[in-house]
Amino acid sequence: MAYVLGGSDGEQYGFTFAIANFALRAMHESLGLVNMTNVVTPTQGNQFLVPNFAPITYQDFNPAADPASAPWYTGNATVQNPALTQTTITASPAIATTAFDIFYGWTTSFTLAATLGAELGDSFAEKVDQRVCAAFASFKATPGNTFYATSADGFDRILQLGAIELLPSGTTPSSPTAGFTTNLVTEAVRLIKQQFKIARMPGNPVIVIDSNGNDGVIGSTLNRLLSELTGGAVSQTGGSNLSALGNELLSSGRIENIYGCMVMSTTFLSSASRTVDGTASTPVLVGGYFGDSALFTVMKQGLEIKLGEVPGGLQNWLTGVGYFGSGVGDLRRGGAINIVQA
């Protein structure tokens, strides 16, 4: 039933409240990438500071070793002085402003409110995800892990995880980096899992690929993964039918468990020009893989809906505002995926 503005029970305010409620519901019902990050509030102003220490490790103690330089019987103990670094995640405003004729509200208020509210809520969730995806570019851009100096226990500790190189389907690598370069999406997932465990990270990483790219052979990484999941090893009947994993990816846009990892797809990956497989200036989409505390989303102000009347009285303006940002907090806990494009 059409909603009538005016009346004795404050109905004139119902349209505004309905829009805001529909927007908030749409935002909270979204299954966005932001849910995979650490959502925090600013520590000061519009920034959140993430402290990172170099690793502190235990060594095998020998009290008799080198007594001349250890007068207090510290033996072979190495005094560790881990350096503290801080990464800054900064929030910034995001707005969506529109105006519409007042006559819409007279005839289709609740329908219009639902449409406008859902649009504002969905697009706000998408904007947050866009900033999460943009943060993938801050991971290390090249393959190969970077390590701290050898720790006191004699074992290496990763400082930065290297980028995985995903070449077009069927391409023969010319200058591959062992453990980082592949032309198969499923193998890329396996390599990511391997590097994540080399970094001694707990749990399993979330992997984000594109659903709108083009490798020049099959198309997007999503299509490539679906294609690979139709093989006899994982199909339902050993033929061309989609496997359970393929059906899950096609219906929900993500796979909850492939080699223990969650794989998600998006259209918001950033484009870049990077050296891949030894070739400089290669066009890529920058995907990402990350675990807990790798990415942070600082939320200064969540979605807020503003509504008012345009001078002249024939239109109402409607604005959604937010204040937030995303960034990498710890380069040991995630990495980039350089997805080569045609």
User: How far apart are alpha carbons 122 and 144 in whole angstroms?
Assistant: 38
Q: What pLDDT, on the 0 to 100 scale, is given for residue 67? A: 58
Tokens of 270: 């950033």
φ, ψ (nearest 5 deg) of residue 98: -150, 170
Pair (151, 182) in one structural domain: yes
Give residue 147's domain range: 135-297+329-340
Pair (151, 235) in one structural domain: yes
Pair (144, 245) in one structural domain: yes
Alpha-carbon distances of 328 from 17, 32, 123, 197, 272, rounded to whole Å = 36, 17, 23, 19, 18
Q: What pLDDT, on the 0 to 100 scale, is given for residue 232? A: 38
Nearest Cα to Cα of residue 198 among 254, 145, 261? 145
Whether residue 5 lies inside any domain: the answer is no
Instruction: Give the mean pLDDT per block of 10 residues along the chain (342 residues).
Output: 43 63 71 87 91 86 68 72 87 91 69 79 90 97 92 87 97 96 96 95 94 95 86 45 63 74 93 97 98 95 86 86 95 97 96
Whether residue 99 lies inside any domain: the answer is yes
φ, ψ (nearest 5 deg) of residue 191: -65, -40
Q: What pLDDT, on the 0 to 100 scale, is given for residue 147? A: 93
Half-sphere exposure of 22 (CA within 13 A, CB side): 19
Provide the whole-model pTM: 0.85
Pair (77, 119) in one structural domain: yes
Whether residue 17 lies inside any domain: the answer is yes
Pair (279, 165) in one structural domain: yes
Phi and psi based region of residue 35 (left: phi greater than 0; alpha: psi -120 to 50; beta: remaining): alpha
Pair (305, 290) in one structural domain: no
Whether residue 283 lies inside any domain: the answer is yes
Nearest 10 degrees: Cα torsion 14, 18, 20, 23:
-170
Pair (234, 246) in one structural domain: yes
Q: What pLDDT, on the 0 to 100 scale, is given for residue 6? A: 45
Q: What pLDDT, on the 0 to 100 scale, is given for residue 338? A: 98
Pair (204, 218) in one structural domain: yes
Is the distance from CB of 265 to CB of 254 less than 8 angstroms?
A: yes
Whether residue 194 lies inside any domain: the answer is yes
Pair (109, 192) in one structural domain: no
CATH of residue 315: 3.30.2400
Beta-carbon count within 10 A of 315 CB: 16
Nearest 10 degrees: Cα torsion 305, 311, 313, 319:
-10
Helices within the chain (DSSP H only) = 14-29, 102-107, 109-134, 185-198, 221-228, 244-252
Beta-carbon count within 10 A of 184 CB: 16
Pair (129, 225) in one structural domain: no
Nearest Cα to Cα of residue 328 among 316, 336, 319? 336
Q: Where are the beta strands (DSSP E) in the chain?
A: 38-40, 47-53, 84-90, 92-101, 146-147, 158-160, 164-166, 181-182, 206-210, 254-258, 261-266, 270-276, 279-290, 295-309, 315-328, 334-340
Q: What pLDDT, on the 0 to 100 scale, is given for residue 30? A: 65
With vertex at residue 87, the alpha carbon angle to CA 83 and CA 93, rounded to the nearest 5 degrees, is 165
Tokens of 210: 């594109």
Pair (234, 126) in one structural domain: no
For the chain, what is the domain count?
2
Whether residue 222 lies inside any domain: the answer is yes
**Largest Cα–Cα separation, the chain:** 93
Pair (287, 307) in one structural domain: no
Whether residue 6 lies inside any domain: the answer is no
Whether residue 207 lies inside any domain: the answer is yes
Place of tokens 């990050």: 37
Nearest Cα to Cα of residue 317 among 97, 121, 5? 97
Contacts of 159 (CB under 8 A, 6+ apart): 145, 146, 147, 148, 331, 332
